[in-house]
Homo-oligomer: A and B are copies of this chain.
Amino acid sequence: MLKSPPRRSAKSTRTVLEALQMLNHATAPEIMQWINQSPGHASDRKVSLTSVYRALNQLVDDLHVKPLNFNDGQIRYELNNQRMHHHHLVCSNCERIQVLDSCPFEHLLTQLEGTFQVHYHNFEVFGLCQSCLSN
Protein backbone atom coordinates (compact mmCIF):
# COMPACT_ATOMS: atom_id res chain seq x y z
CA MET A 1 0.00 0.00 0.00
CA LEU A 2 0.97 3.62 -0.38
CA LYS A 3 2.93 5.31 2.32
CA SER A 4 0.42 7.40 4.21
CA PRO A 5 1.28 11.03 3.56
CA PRO A 6 3.06 12.66 6.50
CA ARG A 7 0.15 14.17 8.38
CA ARG A 8 1.61 17.29 9.91
CA SER A 9 -0.64 19.89 11.38
CA ALA A 10 0.83 20.92 14.68
CA LYS A 11 -1.20 22.89 17.12
CA SER A 12 1.05 25.89 16.75
CA THR A 13 0.44 25.89 13.03
CA ARG A 14 -3.28 26.05 13.55
CA THR A 15 -2.91 28.76 16.14
CA VAL A 16 -0.75 30.87 13.86
CA LEU A 17 -3.31 30.57 11.11
CA GLU A 18 -5.92 31.70 13.57
CA ALA A 19 -3.80 34.72 14.44
CA LEU A 20 -3.33 35.60 10.81
CA GLN A 21 -7.06 35.76 10.35
CA MET A 22 -7.03 38.67 12.76
CA LEU A 23 -3.77 40.39 11.89
CA ASN A 24 -2.71 42.15 8.73
CA HIS A 25 0.87 42.03 7.48
CA ALA A 26 2.14 40.92 10.88
CA THR A 27 5.66 39.99 11.84
CA ALA A 28 6.52 36.78 13.69
CA PRO A 29 6.93 38.51 17.06
CA GLU A 30 3.62 40.30 16.57
CA ILE A 31 1.93 37.01 15.85
CA MET A 32 3.43 35.43 18.94
CA GLN A 33 2.27 38.34 21.06
CA TRP A 34 -1.24 38.10 19.72
CA ILE A 35 -1.38 34.41 20.47
CA ASN A 36 0.04 34.65 23.94
CA GLN A 37 -2.06 37.60 24.99
CA SER A 38 -5.24 36.43 23.37
CA PRO A 39 -7.54 36.17 26.38
CA GLY A 40 -10.46 33.81 26.62
CA HIS A 41 -8.64 30.79 25.39
CA ALA A 42 -6.50 31.20 28.44
CA SER A 43 -3.90 28.74 29.52
CA ASP A 44 -3.53 26.24 26.71
CA ARG A 45 -2.01 29.04 24.68
CA LYS A 46 1.56 30.28 24.87
CA VAL A 47 3.83 29.61 21.96
CA SER A 48 7.51 30.28 21.53
CA LEU A 49 8.87 32.51 18.83
CA THR A 50 10.66 29.48 17.42
CA SER A 51 7.39 27.67 16.91
CA VAL A 52 5.84 30.68 15.28
CA TYR A 53 8.68 30.90 12.79
CA ARG A 54 8.48 27.19 12.16
CA ALA A 55 4.75 27.32 11.61
CA LEU A 56 5.05 30.29 9.29
CA ASN A 57 7.60 28.56 7.11
CA GLN A 58 5.38 25.55 6.91
CA LEU A 59 2.39 27.66 5.96
CA VAL A 60 4.36 29.50 3.33
CA ASP A 61 5.55 26.21 1.84
CA ASP A 62 1.98 24.99 1.74
CA LEU A 63 0.90 28.24 0.09
CA HIS A 64 -1.56 29.11 2.81
CA VAL A 65 0.40 32.18 3.76
CA LYS A 66 2.55 34.56 1.80
CA PRO A 67 5.49 36.62 3.00
CA LEU A 68 5.48 40.34 2.41
CA ASN A 69 8.27 42.82 2.33
CA PHE A 70 7.88 46.46 3.22
CA ASN A 71 11.61 47.14 3.11
CA ASP A 72 11.78 47.48 6.84
CA GLY A 73 14.07 44.57 7.54
CA GLN A 74 11.41 42.18 8.70
CA ILE A 75 9.35 39.55 7.01
CA ARG A 76 5.65 40.12 7.32
CA TYR A 77 3.00 37.52 6.71
CA GLU A 78 -0.51 37.47 5.37
CA LEU A 79 -3.06 34.86 4.36
CA ASN A 80 -2.62 33.81 0.76
CA ASN A 81 -6.29 34.02 0.18
CA GLN A 82 -8.08 34.86 -3.03
CA ARG A 83 -11.15 36.08 -1.19
CA MET A 84 -9.44 38.92 0.57
CA HIS A 85 -6.81 39.68 -1.99
CA HIS A 86 -5.25 43.12 -1.81
CA HIS A 87 -1.98 45.05 -2.00
CA HIS A 88 -0.19 47.79 -0.11
CA LEU A 89 0.89 51.38 -0.29
CA VAL A 90 3.86 51.84 2.00
CA CYS A 91 4.73 55.38 3.03
CA SER A 92 8.48 55.84 3.16
CA ASN A 93 8.12 58.62 5.64
CA CYS A 94 5.62 57.61 8.30
CA GLU A 95 5.64 53.92 7.42
CA ARG A 96 1.90 53.78 7.57
CA ILE A 97 0.29 51.20 5.31
CA GLN A 98 -2.70 51.78 3.11
CA VAL A 99 -4.54 48.86 1.67
CA LEU A 100 -5.09 48.83 -2.04
CA ASP A 101 -8.10 46.78 -2.96
CA SER A 102 -7.57 46.76 -6.67
CA CYS A 103 -5.18 44.25 -8.07
CA PRO A 104 -3.40 44.98 -11.31
CA PHE A 105 -2.60 41.37 -11.75
CA GLU A 106 -5.68 40.03 -13.49
CA HIS A 107 -4.57 41.15 -16.93
CA LEU A 108 -1.37 39.24 -16.60
CA LEU A 109 -2.78 35.95 -15.45
CA THR A 110 -3.84 35.02 -18.92
CA GLN A 111 -0.54 36.04 -20.45
CA LEU A 112 1.36 33.85 -18.02
CA GLU A 113 -0.78 30.80 -18.52
CA GLY A 114 1.41 27.90 -19.59
CA THR A 115 4.57 29.82 -18.86
CA PHE A 116 4.63 29.99 -15.11
CA GLN A 117 2.50 28.43 -12.42
CA VAL A 118 1.73 31.27 -10.06
CA HIS A 119 1.76 30.50 -6.36
CA TYR A 120 1.44 34.04 -5.16
CA HIS A 121 2.51 37.51 -6.09
CA ASN A 122 3.49 40.63 -4.25
CA PHE A 123 2.80 44.14 -5.33
CA GLU A 124 3.95 46.95 -3.11
CA VAL A 125 4.03 50.63 -3.87
CA PHE A 126 6.49 52.81 -2.01
CA GLY A 127 6.28 56.55 -1.74
CA LEU A 128 4.66 59.28 0.30
CA CYS A 129 1.16 59.20 1.68
CA GLN A 130 -1.24 62.11 1.56
CA SER A 131 -0.61 63.26 5.09
CA CYS A 132 3.16 63.20 4.71
CA LEU A 133 2.81 65.21 1.54
CA SER A 134 0.81 67.94 3.19
CA ASN A 135 2.90 68.28 6.33
Residues of A in contact with B (beta carbons under 8 Å apart):
66-67, 69, 71, 89, 91-92, 98, 100, 102, 104-105, 107-108, 111-112, 114-130, 133
Contact = CB atoms under 8 A, between A and B. Distances in A.
Contact of A116 (B107, B116, B119, B125): B125
Nearest to A80: B126
Q: How many copies does the complex hold?
A: 2
Contacts of A116: 89, 91, 98, 125, 127-130
Residue in A67, A102, A104 with the greatest tally of chain B CB atoms within 10 Å: A104
Nearest to A115: B130
A69 B123 CA distance: 11
A119 B104 contact: no
